[in-house]
């Protein structure tokens, strides 16, 4: 297949899965074996489809290196994925991004974990996002591409692949370091996810035992939902069915 066809298939995969995931979680039909399977398929799709690497595609557009019909497709896809954050929150980042899927799977390796405070993570992310976007617009450089982030998906296991391997190794200890510190698309999605229609929330069955707070790797329970990756840990750990994915309460 041509790169253009692969890009189109990857875009359709990302869009469809983003909305399917949100719907399944809303309806309470997302079991652990199901989302582990979906994460595995998404991780493999990175090698087969060479995408959808939305963070790097975003910078390609901003730097002017992506042009023609593919550029129009990517503008449409990026716009729809960003708008999806207003409905389901971070469902794309959670399940449809190969880079995110690898990190999520890596964090499930049973080793000692380290917590990264939300305020510190956000401060770093937005500084990095401004720098990365400025480099794309002003200098025409895609820094994520230059760091070799997706080389490993092209089966190029040279020096440039070390950055991705380092991210995956770090993901075994720190939850989603790329998503939470380096991803410009994630930064934009988070701004919209604060106002998403659906959100993980405590319900009337909650007894405030604190189990969900301990299980949440981003400390997002009771917060604005911008850093919720729909990992299901809060639902899995709750013994009273006190958590659910439902329409956001009015302020």
The predicted-structure confidence for 70-96, as pLDDT tens digits, reads as follows 788 889 999 999 999 999 999 999 999
Provide the pLDDT for residue 169: 95
Q: Which residue has the higher pLDDT, 7 or 109?
A: 109
Question: Across residues 96-119, what is the average pLDDT?
Answer: 93
Where residue 180 falls among pLDDT bands split at 50, 70, 90? very high
Q: Is the pLDDT of residue 63 over 60?
A: yes
Provide the pLDDT for residue 147: 81
Nearest to 19 by CA among 89, 79, 72: 89
The pTM score is: 0.92
Average pLDDT of the chain is: 91
Provide the pLDDT for residue 148: 82
Q: Is the pLDDT of residue 67 over 80?
A: no
C-alpha 133: how far from chain center: 18
Which phi and psi angles does 244 have, rounded to 5°?
-155, 155
Return the percentage of the chain with pLDDT > 90, whole number: 68
Q: How far apart are CA 133 and CA 94, in angstroms?
A: 22
pLDDT, tens digit, 9 for 90 and up, residues 194-206: 999 999 999 999 9
Q: Is the pLDDT of residue 251 over 60?
A: no
Q: How far apart are CA 73 and CA 219, in angstroms?
A: 35
Question: Across residues 38-51, what is the average pLDDT?
Answer: 91
Provide the pLDDT for residue 64: 86
Lowest average pLDDT, out of 24-38, 146-160, 227-241, goes to 146-160
Q: How far apart are CA 218 and CA 214, in angstroms?
A: 10
Provide the pLDDT for residue 250: 62
Q: Which distant-in-sequence residues (6+ apart) come within 8 Å of 5 by Cβ?
A: none
Lowest average pLDDT, out of 145-149, 171-175, 227-231, goes to 145-149
């Amino acid at each position: 297949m041509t790169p253009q066809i692969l890009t189109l298939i990857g875009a359709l995969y990302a869009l469809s899965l983003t909305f399917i995931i949100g719907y399944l979680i809303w309806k309470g039909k997302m079991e652990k074996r199901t989302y582990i399977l979906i994460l595995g398929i998404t991780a493999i799709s990175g090698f087969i489809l060479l995408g959808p690497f939305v963070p790097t595609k975003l910078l390609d557009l901003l730097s002017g290196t992506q042009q023609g019909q593919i550029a129009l497709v990517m503008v449409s896809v990026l716009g729809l994925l960003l708008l999806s954050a207003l409905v389901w929150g971070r469902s794309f980042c959670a399940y449809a991004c190969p880079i995110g899927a690898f990190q999520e799977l890596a964090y499930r390796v049973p080793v000692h974990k380290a917590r990264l405070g939300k305020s510190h993570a956000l401060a770093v992310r937005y500084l990095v996002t401004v720098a990365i976007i400025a480099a794309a617009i002003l200098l025409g450089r895609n820094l994520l591409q230059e760091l070799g982030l997706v080389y490993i998906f092209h089966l190029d296991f040279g020096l440039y692949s070390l950055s991705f391997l380092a991210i995956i190794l770090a993901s075994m200890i720190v939850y989603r370091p790329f998503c939470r510190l380096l991803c410009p698309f994630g930064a934009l999605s988070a701004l919209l996810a604060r106002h998403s229609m659906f959100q993980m929330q405590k319900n009337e069955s909650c007894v405030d035992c604190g189990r969900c707070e301990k299980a949440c790797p981003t400390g997002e329970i009771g917060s604005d939902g911008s850093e919720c990756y729909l990992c299901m840990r809060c639902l899995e750990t709750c013994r009273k069915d006190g958590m659910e994915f439902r329409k956001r309460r009015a302020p």
